[in-house]
Amino acid sequence: MGAGKKVKNVAKTTKGKVKETTGKAVGNESLEAKGHREQMLGDAKQTAQKAKDTLKH
């Protein structure tokens, strides 16, 4: 996997975790849900990239 893509995916997941935690702390369900979606998107992209790399080898 390209290092740049991995960093972007991990950053998206981390950003989502921060948003979700902040949303929980302040009671903002919308922010919490948005953070959760970002985490899922980052994880999904990471998984897809790993699958691509596996097929290359």
Quickly state the pLDDT bin for 1 (edges 50, 70, 90): low
Among 14, 17, 12, smallest CA distance to 36 is for: 17
The amino acid that residue 56 corresponds to is: K
pLDDT tens digits along 10-49 = 999 999 999 999 999 999 999 999 999 999 999 999 999 8
Structure tokens at 46: 């990471």
Query: Can you give the residue ranges of every domain in the chain?
Result: 3-56
